[in-house]
Structure 1
Amino acid sequence: MRMYNRYIAALSFAAILFNSCDKKDNNNSEDPGANSKFIVAVSPVASTGVADYLLTADNLDEGSITTARNGVEQDGTYRYYVTHKGLFFSMLYGQGNPGAVTAYTLSGEGKLNKVTNFQSETVQAFAPADNDILMMKIPRSQTGGNSALWYRVSTEKLEIVGEGQSDIVAMANNGERAHFTWLKQVGNKIYAPYMSIKGCCGDGFGTAYPDSAWIAVYSYPSMTLDKVIKDNRTSYIGRYFTDGLEVMENGDVYAFSSSVAKNGASFSSTKPSAIVRLKAGVTEFDQTYLFDIAAASGGWYLTNKLYVGNNLFILSMSNVKDPYGVGHRFAVVDVVAKTFKWVTGTPDPADITAVTTTNYVPKDNKTGYIGITTVDSKSAVYKIDATTATAVKGLNVEGGTITAIQKLDKK
Structure 2
Amino acid sequence: MQKKYFTQALAVAICSANLFSSCSEEHVTGNPGASATGTNQYVIAAKTGDATYLITSESLDEGTITSVGKGTETIGGSYWVFYGTDYLFSLKYNNGEAGTGASYILEQSTGKPAEHNSYTFNRITTYGIWGNNVITASTNNGSKETDGEHFAKYLQFNYLNATNGKTTTGTQIAEDFLGNGEFVSFAGFVEANNKLYTSVIPMGMSHYGVNTFPDKITDADLVAKSDGGSGSGSYTAGQIPATQYPDKAFIAIYNGNSFNETPTIVETDKIGFACGRFRSQYYQTIWAADNGDLYVFSPGYGRTATSSSDLKKVTGTLPSGVMRIKAGETSFDSNYYYNLEELGNKKPMFRCWHITQDYFLMQMYTDGVAGMMNGKNAVVTELAIFKAEDGKLTTVSSGLPNQSSITSLGTPFCTNGVAYIPVVTNDGNYPALYKIDPATAIATKGISIIADEVAAVGLLSPKSF
What is the TM-score when the length of structure 2 is the normalising length?
0.73
User: 1:153: which partner in 2?
Assistant: 160
Relative contact order: is structure 1 or structure 2 higher (C-alpha 8 Å, sep ≥ 6)?
Answer: 2
Pair 1:369-2:376 in alignment: no
Aligned to 1:279: 326
Q: 1:302 aligns with which of 328, 345, 349?
A: 349
CA contact (8 A) 1:291 1:338 kept: yes
Letter matched to residue 346 of structure 2: G
User: The residue matched to 2:188 in structure 1 has which SS?
Assistant: coil
Deviation per CA, 1:387-409: give whole Å up to 9, x if none.
Answer: 11110110001132333221112
Is contact 1:345-1:391 (8 Å) kept?
yes
The 1:265–1:55 alpha-carbon spacing in structure 2 relative to 1, beyond 3 Å, is: farther
Kindly indicate whether residue 295 of structure 2 is the aligned counterpart of residue 230 of structure 1: no
Aligned amino acid, residue 292 of structure 1: N
Q: Say whether 1:356 aligns with 2:410.
A: yes
How do 1:170-181 and structure 2 match up within 5 A?
170-181=176-187
Aligned residue for 1:225, secondary structure, equals coil
Q: Which amino acid aligns with 1:391?
A: A
Distance in 1 between residues matched to 2:61 and 2:345, nearest whole Å: 32
Aligned ranges 1:84-163 → 2 under 5 Å: 84=84, 86-108=86-108, 109-139=110-140, 145-160=152-167, 162-163=168-169
Change (3 A) 1:120 1:130: closer
Partner of 1:314: 361
Letter paired with 2:155: A
2:247 to 178, 196, 211: 211
1:193 to 187, 199, 206: 199
* Residue 352 to residue 285, structure 1, CA distance change in 2 (3 Å): same
Matched residues in 2 for 1:264 and 1:253: separation?
Answer: 31
Cα distance change, pair 305–156 in 1 and its aligned pair in 2 (3 A): same
CA distance in 2, matches of 1:99, 1:189: 27
Structure 1 residue 395 and structure 2 residue 401: aligned?
no
Tell me, in whole angstroms, the C-alpha distance in 2 between the residues paired with 1:386 and 1:315: 11
Q: 1:130 to 1:323 in 2, by over 3 A?
A: farther
Tell me if 1:220 matches 2:220.
Answer: no
Structure 2 letter corresponding to 1:139: N
- Inter-CA distance 144–363: structure 2 relative to 1 (3 Å threshold): farther
Q: In structure 1, how many angstroms separate the alpha carbons of the residues matched to 2:47 and 2:244?
A: 37
Q: Secondary structure at the match of 1:183?
A: strand
Alignment equivalent of 2:289, drawn from 237, 248, 272: 248
CA contact (8 A) 2:85 2:459 kept: no
Is this contact kept in 2: 1:206–1:264, CA < 8 A?
no
Which residue does 1:39 correspond to in 2?
A: 43
Q: Deviations over 1:16-61 (max 9, x none)?
A: xxxxxxxxxxxxxxxxx962211222343x6xxx454332211100
Distance 1:294 1:326 in 2: 17
Per the alignment, residue 391 of structure 2 pairs with: 338
Q: For the residues of structure 1 that align with 2:165 and 2:348, how far apart are their CA atoms?
A: 40
- Cα distance in 2 for residues equivalent to 1:140 and 1:72: 38
Which moves more between the two structures, 193-202 or 95-104? 193-202
Equivalent residue, structure 2, for 1:12: none
Distance 1:34 1:103 in 2: 23
Where do 5+ consecutive residues of structure 2 fail to align?
1-36, 207-226, 234-240, 309-313
CA distance in 2: counterparts of 1:149 and 1:371, whole angstroms:
32
Whether 1:407 aligns to 2:459 is yes
Q: Aligned partners of 1:133, 1:118: CA distance in 2, in Å? A: 11
Q: Which residue of 1 aligns with 2:65?
A: 65
Say which is worse superposed, 187-196 or 198-207, in terms of deviation.
198-207
CA distance in 2, matches of 1:86, 1:76: 19
| CA displacement 1:163-203 (0-9 Å, x = unmatched) | 32122112143343211111112323221102211376545
TM-score (norm 1): 0.82
Give 2:426's aligned amino acid: V
Question: Could you tell me whether the CA contact under 8 Å between 2:72 and 2:112 is conserved in 1?
Answer: no
Aligned pair partner of 1:347 in 389, 395, 401 = 401
8 Å Cα contact 1:52-1:79 kept in structure 2: no
Alignment RMSD: 2.7
1:95 alignment partner, SS class? helix
Classify 1:212/1:202 alpha carbon distance in 2 versus 1 (closer, same or farther; 3 Å).
farther
Identity across aligned pairs (percent)?
24
Task: Tell me how many residue pairs correspond in the alignment.
Answer: 371
Gaps of 5+ in 1: 1-32
SS of alignment partner, residue 295 of structure 2: strand
Alignment match, 1:184: 190
Q: Distance in 2 between matches of 1:326 and 1:313?
A: 20
Q: 1:95 to 1:194 in 2, by over 3 A?
A: farther
**Inter-partner Cα distance in structure 2 for 1:171 and 1:402:** 38
Give the structure 2 partner of residue 6 of structure 1: none
